[in-house]
Amino acid sequence: MMPLLDVRHLAKQFSRTRGLFGAGSVLRAVDDVSFTIEEGETFGLVGETGSGKTTTGRCVLRLIEPTSGEVRFRGEDVLRASRRRMRELRRQMQIVFQDPYSSLNPRMRVRAIVEEPLIIHRLGGRVERRARVDELFGLVGLDPALADRYPHQFSGGQRQRVGLARALALNPSFIVADEPVSALDVSIQAQVINLLQDLQQQLGLSYLFISHDLRLVRHICTRVAVMYFGRIVEMGETGSLFASPQHPYTRALLSAIPVADPDARTPRLVIEPAGIDSTRPLREIADGHWAAV
Amino acid sequence: MTGPLLEVAHLRTEFVTGGAPLVAVDDVSFSLAPGETLGLVGESGSGKSVTAFSIMRLVQPPGRITGGEIRFNGRDLLTLDEEAMRRIRGAEIALIFQEPSSALNPVFTVGDQIGEVLRVHGRATRAQARTRAVELLEAVRMPDPAHRVDDYPHQLSGGQRQRVLIAMALACKPSLVIADEPTTALDVTVQAQIMELLSEMKTQFQLSLLLITHDLGVVAESADRVAIMYAGRIVEEGPVRQIFRSPAHPYTRGLLASIPGGAPGSRLQAIEGTVPRLDQLPPGCSFAPRCPSRFDLCDTAPPPPYEVGPGQRARCYLHRNR
């Protein structure tokens, strides 16, 4: 069966100039990244600051134009889609941002924020849109009576629900969730994660779940790719990857997770960036488990 | 056995902005023995950072400490004059901030900034300060300290900046270090290195550490005792094993259960509802509106701390008959 999303050899380079006459250098933010996401799957992209995980997510949606590579959504080449076709595709592919404080326009009532995609895509009249917004509020567990308030009147968790309602407005099948809970308090994180899982079941969504939190990724994702300096260094089923990590970076990353158990002291592994051969290609070491070793 | 190094009793800090005062820290009491690490855990707005600032007497207006005692090495910090307090700050009690990028001055080298701490407290002359700065950078495992001492903060990585802040905190050999979310802004591998460094420094410099964090994993690995804050009050306190093995307060139980770690794909145990605003606190227990074990008594008055185990106390009416 055709995967929902098929990313092949994706690359994004940023050029840095050095002064007026200096030779520029090229930063490979995303370097030959390939993965697929199946229908109904939650695919995790983990890595630390600067690993290229967010850039990868944005390139998939063409919020950033990749330098090269291929992104196929249900077989269709997204990177070569016309402006008009891209607009149609965006109804299928949406994003939820990390920061619920800066990603909502503070001067708009939340009803208008959630309704805006419907207006842009000319879906329904005033009455239908109003009903749809109420429905979306119900879907994400917000009281529709709060729809006429402004973002600052909501807590962080509620704002993330508003962002989710907006992303769901066009009835997408695929959502890029870029660190959707990392700005939230622990007790609220669990609420939003549960909501993401409920919505997935209810609406048949697929997620690209971008996160630095390995505990969360292990909990919610079916498959995981680990990024390091723009490349995927390991990828596999969540269970297999967490049980037998193969790449030295994955091992160091897993050993660094603080465990909420005073009696479970795990030895920390230290990673030496110089010790990693970044040109090594991924190879399949077990069924569906790939590592650059 | 000597007495505690720090003893906070019935601390109350309010913010007055027009209407009724907001009580950010309400009847907070805890103590810290020499060489001990106390983890102060809470979510945003729980009052953990205001508690730290109150101990340093750095609460800015409209905030004000309105009650309680803070005894440090036998002296009540709340009765000292500003000059005496200035001699304690940075020298005997040091503070490590959350954001290593904004806590450093971008226009001075890290050597200047470490040296300044020493000179302000009369611990070194200008000439000695640089040598001491290199030694301190070496102590916090900064690579190539003799050269790094002349770097500006922007030339360093986040983890290296946090090392500089730790070096500054240790410069005058304080007996108490308050670390306010020291690793929150850092990547997980760097976070592990910094926590390791802090625990080594604790042994080497014989420090007591007040570790403020929202991460129960960090607390489980580093703290001897834990105090859990919610809406300005410490709702539970006790030895770290005790709190993780047999949490007594429903909020502590909820926090521990909401950490992902069970079967993948299973539902997380979320705490329903949201943290109440400080100007809309319920008359009884602040956690009551979200509490799964709530009963009639919970809405009457804030519960006092009940003894629930050896050295463990919880502000919860469930334990009133023990």
- What's the per-residue H, E or C state across chain B? CCCCCEEEEEEEEEECCCCCCEEEEEEEEEEECCCCEEEEECCCCCCHHHHHHHHCCCCCCCEEEEEEEEEECCEEHHHCCHHHHHHHECCCEEEECCCCCCCCCCCCCHHHHHHHHHHHCCCCCHHHHHHHHHHHHHHCCCCCHHHHCCCCHHHCCHHHHHHHHHHHHHCCCCCEEEEECCCCCCCHHHHHHHHHHHHHHHHHHCCEEEEEECCHHHHHHHCCEEEEEECCEEEEEEEHHHHHHCCCCHHHHHHHHCCCCCCCCCCCCCCCCCCCCHHHCCCCCCCHHHCCCCCHHHHCCCCCCEEEECCEEECCHHHCCC
With an 8 Å Cβ cutoff, is A191 touching chain B?
Answer: yes
Q: Which residues of A74-112 are buried (b: 16+ CB within 10 A; e: fewer)?
A: eeeebbebeeeeeeebbbbbbbbbbebeebbeeeebbbe
**CB-CB neighbors (< 8 A) of A256 in chain B:** 188-189, 191-192
The angle formed by the CA atoms of residues B44, B50 and B52, to the nearest 5 degrees, is: 110
With an 8 Å Cβ cutoff, is A276 touching chain B?
Answer: no
Contacts of B102 (CB under 8 A, 6+ apart): none
Q: Which residues of A164-195 are buried (b: 16+ CB within 10 A; e: fewer)?
A: bbbbbbbebbbbbbbbbbebbbbbbbbbbbbb
Cα radius of gyration rounded to whole Å, chain A: 20
Please give the pLDDT value at position B15.
94
With an 8 Å Cβ cutoff, is A256 touching chain B?
Answer: yes
Output the CA torsion sign for A170, A46, B214, B269.
positive
- Going by pLDDT thresholds of 50, 70 and 90, the confidence category of residue B244 is very high
By Cβ distance, the residue of A194, A218, A255 closest to B264 is A218
Give the lowest-confidence range in B51-55, B86-90, B273-277, B281-285: B273-277
Query: Where do the domains of chain A lie, and which CATH numbers do they carry?
Result: 5-291 (3.40.50.300)
Nearest-CA distance from B292 to chain A in Å?
Answer: 14
User: Could B264 and A188 be called an inter-chain contact, meaning their C-beta atoms sit closer than 8 Å?
Assistant: no
Please give the pLDDT value at position A273.
66
Q: What does the pLDDT look like over B288-315, one tens digit per residue?
A: 999 999 999 999 999 999 999 999 999 9
Please give the pLDDT value at position B268.
87
By Cβ distance, the residue of A48, A197, A260 closest to B217 is A260
Side-chain-side CA neighbours of A257 within 13 Å: the count stands at 20
Please give the pLDDT value at position A67.
96
The angle formed by the CA atoms of residues B145, B146 and B151, to the nearest 5 degrees, is: 75
User: Could A49 and B187 be called an inter-chain contact, meaning their C-beta atoms sit closer than 8 Å?
Assistant: yes
* Alpha carbon distance B286, B64 (integer Å): 22
By Cβ distance, the residue of B190, B244, B274 closest to A260 is B244
User: Could B216 and A238 be called an inter-chain contact, meaning their C-beta atoms sit closer than 8 Å?
Assistant: no
**CB-CB neighbors (< 8 A) of B261 in chain A:** 215, 219, 260
* Alpha carbon distance B271, A150 (integer Å): 25
With an 8 Å Cβ cutoff, is A145 touching chain B?
Answer: no
* Residue where the block lists tokens 């992303």: A167
The angle formed by the CA atoms of residues A279, A281 and A285, to the nearest 5 degrees, is: 140
Average pLDDT, chain B: 92
One digit per residue, the tens of pLDDT, for chain A of length 293 reads 789 999 999 999 998 776 666 667 888 999 999 999 999 999 999 998 889 999 999 999 999 999 999 999 999 999 999 999 999 999 999 999 988 788 899 999 999 999 999 999 999 999 999 999 999 999 999 999 999 999 999 988 899 999 999 999 999 999 999 999 988 888 889 999 999 999 999 999 999 999 998 889 999 999 999 999 999 999 999 999 999 999 999 999 998 888 888 887 667 777 766 667 777 889 999 889 999 98
> In chain B, which segments carry CATH 3.40.50.300?
6-223
User: Could A48 and B189 be called an inter-chain contact, meaning their C-beta atoms sit closer than 8 Å?
Assistant: yes
* Domain B6-223 top-level CATH class: alpha beta
CA dihedral B250, B253, B258, B263 (to 10 degrees): -130
With an 8 Å Cβ cutoff, is B267 touching chain A?
Answer: yes
Which of B187, B195, B225, B230 is the best mutation test for A, with the most CBs of A within 10 A? B187
Q: Reduce the DSSP state of residue A79 to 3 states and report it.
A: helix
Please give the pLDDT value at position A47.
92
Residue A269: closest C-alpha in chain B? B189
User: Could A256 and B188 be called an inter-chain contact, meaning their C-beta atoms sit closer than 8 Å?
Assistant: yes
Q: What does the pLDDT look like over B46-101, one tens digit per residue?
A: 999 999 999 999 999 999 999 999 999 989 999 999 999 999 998 999 999 877 77
Please give the pLDDT value at position B12.
97
Which of A255, A261, A266, A268 is the best mutation test for B, with the most CBs of B within 10 A? A261
In this model, does residue B1 exceed pLDDT 60? no
Structure tokens at B301: 């008055």
Structure tokens at A9: 């050899």
Q: What is the ipTM of this complex?
A: 0.82
